[in-house]
Amino acid sequence: MVLVFGTMAGEPREFGPYRLVRRLGVGGMAETFEAIRGGAGGFEQRVCLKRVLPAFSEDEEFVSRFQREAKLAAQLRHTNIVGVIDAGEIDGAHYMALELVDGVDLRSLLKSSPGERLPPDMVALIGIDLAYALEHAHAALVHRDISPSNILLSRSGEAKLADFGIAKAIDNANVTASRNAQGKIPYMAPERMRGESVDGRADLFSLGVVMFEALAGIRPFDGTHDVETMQKILDGDRYSLAQAAPDAPEALREVVEQLIEGDANARMKSASDLLDALAAVAPAPTVRQALAATVEGHRGGPEARLHVRAAEEERDTELSRVPVARSDTSATPAAPAPKQRRARWLAWALTALIATGAAAVVLGTQAGPEKQVGATDTGADTGADTGADTGADTGTDTGAGAGAGTPPPPPSKGLLRVVVQPWGNVWIDGKKSGRAPVKARLTKGRHVIEVGQTRRSQRRVVRVQAGARQEVEFTLSEQ
């Protein structure tokens, strides 16, 4: 008997013809495993096995859509698309087996890069690869869920788009707004938020947001909470790429700015048109080698190429499904009262947001303390990782309450000093913190720092390390 979902220790590793090597992640829709597919004559193939959770497996409408979209996705064969190898049902559990990419997802690479961004020529290369993927795919289906966690970068320097066909199945499933929708909103086209029918131009919008983020280190539409972000997207209220990434070539900035136009008719009409536009900024062939080297460095170099080490395989025996923590809605900032004309789309959008994530995985060993290599974002991107503790918090982590002789817990915050030349005001995570210089004790993680004199004019994302002191300096011209 095969236990498909369980929590007991020693859960069997077999799942039909697949042997589950290690569990990689769990999200609102599915859990993923690195698995080995066996065949005649000792044939073996390593795959990413994505297994639908019981709540979805019992939804007949969702299962029907999932199967239909999986069949369409399986027809896509392109070097820049993560291929579907197999799909079906085993003991009541629906699954997909996908190509396993030896590399890293774009979200992880951005998080580990200086300023959480990449050089413009690398961004142009990634944009070209993904435009080729969309050009091929749009003849059959629309992706509908392009985000950094669904873009995989191989050790050969190729960009591959994952999770085709899943988002449409999720769209009409019986899901409610939850933590699993977080992180997808900033990449969603406005027409989709309004509940309108979408075409390939919605994917182009999402790709434009990704490219903006990779160039600037910030997203173009970035509110303090999801509802505000949605309103910004619908209103076209965004940051200027010329200010956020002045080092990027003007021709590349113009392409990205056109992609994120709120009016679908103002964007490129197709991925083919996008390829034509990107031809003007096509990078040199050596840029792919540079991207490959960057991925290699993130993954630990050539010595870390083994897919699964024996010790790692021995350690990763926990294959049962870990419960997903519920979101703490009490911590969500109160949304401003929406205008009547937005009432319908807000109600729809907050109950129909997708809860999928990367369908393919990337392999390797561990790459730093934040994320285990091989783990997929099967839930969702985390949206604006603001760390919750904003403003100039001058408290200290003293470990109060510890017993006598008990060492204090490690610090959970770091000290950030913001300096503005010649002068200026500072906002941290959307909250005004006063005139620079400003010192703030912030929780570990990513924080948005904005400065300006009469108005906010510069923005930067800073990653705060627990127990560390750091300083960030801005230079402003008189406003």
Q: Check residue 340 and give its pLDDT.
A: 39
pLDDT-derived band at 223 (thresholds 50, 70, 90) equals confident
Does position 394 have pLDDT exceeding 60, yes or no? no
Q: Which of 59, 105, 121, 145 is catalytic?
A: 145
Q: Using CB atoms within 10 A of its CB, is residue 7 exposed (0-12), middle (13-18) or buried (19+)?
A: exposed
H helices of 118-157, in order, are: 120-137
CA dist 1 and 12 (Å) reads 9
Does position 273 have pLDDT exceeding 80, yes or no? yes
Phi, psi of 208 (to 5 degrees): -60, -40
Among 197, 204, 193, CA closest to 146: 204
From 25-39, 159-173, 241-255, 281-295, the region with the lowest mean pLDDT: 159-173
Question: Percent of the chain at pLDDT above 70?
Answer: 69
Kindly list the structural domains of the chain, giving each domain's residue range(s) and its CATH number in brackets, ordered by start.
Answer: 14-315+334-352 (1.10.510.10), 385-479 (2.60.40)
CA dist 262 and 192 (Å) reads 11
18-26 β-sheet, strand order = 14-15, 18-26, 30-38, 44-52, 93-99, 84-90
Condensed to tens digits (0 to 9), the pLDDT of residues 63-103 reads 887 787 778 888 889 999 998 898 889 988 889 899 999 89
Does position 329 have pLDDT exceeding 50, yes or no? no
pLDDT-derived band at 341 (thresholds 50, 70, 90) equals very low
From 21-25, 208-212, 282-286, 475-479, the region with the lowest mean pLDDT: 475-479
pLDDT-derived band at 478 (thresholds 50, 70, 90) equals low
CA dist 1 and 8 (Å) reads 14
Mean pLDDT for 150-159 is 95
Question: Percent of the chain at pLDDT above 90?
Answer: 36
CA dist 430 and 449 (Å) reads 8
> Is residue 145 annotated as a catalytic residue, yes or no?
yes
* Preceding amide of 411 cis, omega within 30: no
At 326, is the secondary structure helix, strand, or coil?
A: coil
Mean pLDDT for 315-331 is 34
Within 13 Å and on the Cβ side, how many CA atoms surround 302?
0
Mean pLDDT for 426-436 is 89
Highest mean pLDDT of the ranges 127-141, 379-393, 437-451:
127-141
Among 180, 174, 133, 125, CA closest to 377: 180
CA dist 14 and 4 (Å) reads 9
Longest dimension (CA), the chain: 74
CA 360 to chain centre: 13
Does position 45 have pLDDT exceeding 70, yes or no? yes
Among 131, 125, 132, CA closest to 153: 125
Among 274, 249, 271, 276, CA closest to 119: 249
At 273, is the secondary structure helix, strand, or coil?
A: helix
pLDDT-derived band at 410 (thresholds 50, 70, 90) equals low
Q: What is the mean pLDDT of the chain?
A: 75
Q: What would the two tokens of residue 238 be?
A: 């965004």
Q: What is the DSSP string of 371-425?
A: --TT----S----S---S--S--------TTPPTTPPPPPP-EEEEEEEEES--E
